[in-house]
Amino acid sequence: MIRGLLELYEASLDDQWLQWAVELQAKLDETLWDSEGAGYFMGTPGDPSILVRMKEAEQIIKASVTLLSKLPLALPELVSNYMLYLQPKRQIIIAGDRESEDTKQLLKCVHSHFIPNKVLMLCDGKPDSFLASKQTIFETLARKGGKATAYVCQNYTCSLPVNTVEALERLLSR
């Protein structure tokens, strides 16, 4: 569900989806996270039907096989998540006004590319936005030369900011 909320955010760039995803992840961490062994348990600590909370790899695989046999459509999503985990992510941040034409053109450019491991965010420059409240970097990203600006980052390195569709196209085609 969290992944779906993140997809909704990337499609609409509406902070409500991102905020809901963050809240849901926090609740998941609070109730199912195993702080000793890392990873997540399959049930909550107070569940009386669970006598022993085991989390061995073999048991997880067996449980997954049972689940996948009942719901085979989940397998592509599992493979997709595994690939996402293995490959480097590309963060694309557009700094600009959601309604301005230059911002829309940069977003259209991003959406015209198939980038499976991308994280797309809109930084509208509002200090009270959800993103700015979570990461101070979003307060510093700004439009350059009065135009919407794209920041493309991968492996903890960001390219120089660009504010034309052609320059963004070159960055995304690499």
Instruction: Count Cβ atoms below 10 Å from residue 17 Cβ, excluding itself.
Output: 19
Identify whether the C-beta of residue 154 lies closer than 8 Å to the C-beta of residue 174. no
| Mean pLDDT across 142-163 | 91
Please state the pTM of the whole predicted model: 0.73
Question: What is the full DSSP assignment across 69-87?
Answer: HH-TTHHHHHHHHHHHHHS
Structure confidence at residue 8 as a pLDDT band (50, 70, 90): very high
Residue pLDDT, tens place only, 113-148? 998 889 999 988 777 788 878 877 777 788 889 999
Q: Could you tell me where the beta strands, DSSP code E, fall in the chain? A: 90-95, 118-123, 149-154, 157-158
64-90 average pLDDT score: 77
